[in-house]
Chain A
Amino acid sequence: MRLLQKFRNIGKSSQYKGSSNYAYLATRVRAMKSKLVPKETYPRLMNMGISEITRLIEETEYKQDIDKLARTYSGVDLIEHGLNRNLAETFTKLIKISEGEPNYLIIEYLKNYDIWNIKTILRGKYYNASQNEIKEDLVSAGQLSYTFLSELAGKESYSEVISALEGTEYYPILIGYDETNLSDIENNLDKMYYNGLFNVIGESKSKDRKLFAKFIRTEIDIKNINTLFRLKKAGVKQDEIVDLIIDGGLELSTNSIQGLLPLSYDDFIQALNKYSFWDSISDAVGSDTDSLINVETQLKKHSLKSASSFSHVYPLSIVPIMDYIISKRNEVNNLRIIARGKAANLSDEIIMNQLVI
């Protein structure tokens, strides 16, 4: 209950309290970053089987998580849950050791995990999934603790879940849920996350915060362009797409997106060639392209590349912390892609294409 109270208080306030401990945090993050899996390990992992990958992962920071989950899971499930557990522990640790401004920024950035968990619980309730089934899919890498999320998962109905979140910033959106509009609620929660981030970056004019803003706005661009690709490919009507566009992109302003909406799929692709991400996706797009997987992968790579380009500047700022969060998430993704890809008998080419090294 204390955790919930803490969460509620932070949820209500948009202001951060206490002095910022950037120097301490940057040192801790540098030490944590040195423990990330080196790039050279990935080609080695590609030549290993699932059990060998598990053993190798056990020699890294993931040992404790793998050991703890080994009684419950095995094989590739053990790897995936171990990776998720470690990610959650790491990000929670970042929230705990940070104070003042960085704490506020980290919490805001990691809110997508809280939103993800709330969505999973609502989906689980909608499907009448058991508490254990829902709990297995939770990643408490945000502000909401695993204990609190487990309690939510154990509630009898969706209305009890929503009542338990009363007083949080999610409540005004969740109150509109009536079991027939889950996708709308999910979209509104995601829009709320990006709008929240956009409001956060608008608060400071320092150079490091501008870089942080650039990163967030590039993420919004990538999210918008992915949404446009998916909806246009599916032939969704213009007025339905408008509701799913997020404001605050770096290159794609609301006006330029409005200009892209009436275009046909072919013209839409042609219109993208003036943006910086075009070089990354030009080989993957085309009106005859059945799959958008390569486009999305290339956009993700573009986003991570642009983030890593400014990761070394302003060492005592939010920039190296964000760089660590991105690198850690990318490491977990890469390890999961290799393990799951091998378990699904995907070709080495497909697995390599999805990796961001």
Chain B
Amino acid sequence: MDINDVKPTRSELIELKKKIKLSESGHKLLKMKRDGLILEFFAILNKAKNVRAELDASFKEASEKIGIAKSVEGTITVKSTAFSLKDAPQIEVESINVMGVVVPKIESSSVRKPMNKRGYGVLGTSSYIDEAADSYEILVEKIILAAEIETTMKRLLDDIEKTKRRVNALEFKVIPELTAAMVFIQLRLEEMERENTFRLKRIKKA
């Protein structure tokens, strides 16, 4: 707000005072939101660290198990057995609100199946195949969980950044400018008051 554009009137002063009060309460609320989001972010960060570690471990385990299955049973056995699984895991994405930030909630079903319900025959397969399938089911579950937590974290981080910018804009730009304009109007009004008083005195003398 350019100080030259300010009209030094009482109504403008009242308007500015209202704006300052609103900005200050907005600033206070946004600061509280920012702090709340940061707390929420750190809670999620710990979860994300654990999930990422679990995901890495699951991937390592799954790679090893599929490696063993491919080497002992052969790639063609693994591939042929995989043909008997046609059902893909069902994933539903819902939204939940964390302090005004919309984050995803991912629900999955049909990821883990009992060994005898996977679609392939038990007698013609082996525990190498079972354990490779098991470890990949666990890996898919971890990926879904990690996707939910990491997307939540990313959204929170974006919102923290946005809120921080707003808080700073209010604190260092909007409120100081409004205050400066208010001070200017007050000074100008006082000046006008003094001019009026002086003018009245001169008229009285004359």
Residues of B within 8 A of A106 (CB): none
Residues of A within 8 A of B67 (CB): 340-341, 343-346
Residues of B within 8 A of A137 (CB): 76, 79-80
Q: Which of A4-12, A38-46, A180-188, A315-323 contacts B (4 or more CB under 8 A)?
A: A180-188
* Residue among A77, A185, A226 with the highest chain B CB neighbour number at 10 A: A226
A190 in contact with B86 (CB, 8 Å): no
Q: Is B68 an interface residue (CB 8 A)?
A: yes
> In the complex, what residue of chain B is closest to A224 when comparing beta carbons?
B123
A123 in contact with B115 (CB, 8 Å): no
A293 in contact with B128 (CB, 8 Å): yes
Q: Is B126 an interface residue (CB 8 A)?
A: yes
**Pairs of residues from A and B, 8 with the lowest C-beta to C-beta distance, nearest first:** A186-B121, A344-B67, A340-B71, A190-B123, A123-B83, A292-B127, A127-B83, A234-B115
A285 to B124, CA, bound (A): 22
Taking a contact as CB atoms closer than 8 A, the residue among B83, B85, B115 that contacts A120 in the complex is B83
> In the complex, what residue of chain A is closest to B115 when comparing beta carbons?
A234
Q: Is B84 an interface residue (CB 8 A)?
A: yes
Q: Is A350 an interface residue (CB 8 A)?
A: yes
- Known contacts A293-B131, A344-B63; A183/B119 CB under 8 A: yes
A191 in contact with B124 (CB, 8 Å): no
Q: Is A115 an interface residue (CB 8 A)?
A: yes
> In the complex, what residue of chain A is closest to B123 when comparing beta carbons?
A190
- B-side residues, CB < 8 A to A, are 63-64, 66-68, 70-72, 74-76, 79-86, 114-124, 126-128, 130-131
Taking a contact as CB atoms closer than 8 A, the residue among A136, A182, A295, A336 that contacts B127 in the complex is A295
A227 in contact with B123 (CB, 8 Å): yes
Taking a contact as CB atoms closer than 8 A, the residue among B74, B75, B81, B127 that contacts A296 in the complex is B127
B121 in contact with A129 (CB, 8 Å): no
- A-side residues, CB < 8 A to B, are 77, 80, 84, 115-116, 119-120, 123-124, 126-127, 129, 133, 136-139, 182-187, 189-191, 223, 226-227, 229-231, 234-236, 240, 244, 246, 291-293, 295-297, 333, 336-341, 343-346, 350-351, 354
A137 to B86, CA, bound (A): 17
> In the complex, what residue of chain A is closest to B70 when comparing beta carbons?
A340
Taking a contact as CB atoms closer than 8 A, the residue among B71, B72, B80, B123 that contacts A123 in the complex is B80
B79 in contact with A246 (CB, 8 Å): no
- Known contacts A183-B116, A231-B116, A236-B115; A139/B68 CB under 8 A: no
A226 to B126, CA, bound (A): 8
B83 in contact with A350 (CB, 8 Å): no
A260 to B149, CA, bound (A): 45
A286 to B85, CA, bound (A): 31
Residues of A within 8 A of B127 (CB): 226, 229-230, 291-293, 295-296
Taking a contact as CB atoms closer than 8 A, the residue among A190, A226, A336 that contacts B121 in the complex is A190
> In the complex, what residue of chain B is closest to A230 when comparing beta carbons?
B127
Residues of B within 8 A of A223 (CB): 123
Residues of A within 8 A of B76 (CB): 80, 84, 120, 136-139
Taking a contact as CB atoms closer than 8 A, the residue among B81, B119, B131 that contacts A292 in the complex is B131
> In the complex, what residue of chain A is closest to B128 when comparing beta carbons?
A293
Instruction: Give, as a whole number of angstroms, the nearest-CB distance from B121 to chain A.
Output: 3
* Residue among B71, B75, B82 with the highest chain A CB neighbour number at 10 A: B71
B122 in contact with A354 (CB, 8 Å): no
Instruction: Give, as a whole number of angstroms, the nearest-CB distance from A296 to chain B.
Output: 5
Residues of B within 8 A of A295 (CB): 127
> In the complex, what residue of chain B is closest to A194 when comparing beta carbons?
B123
Residues of B within 8 A of A136 (CB): 76, 79
B71 in contact with A354 (CB, 8 Å): yes
B116 in contact with A350 (CB, 8 Å): no
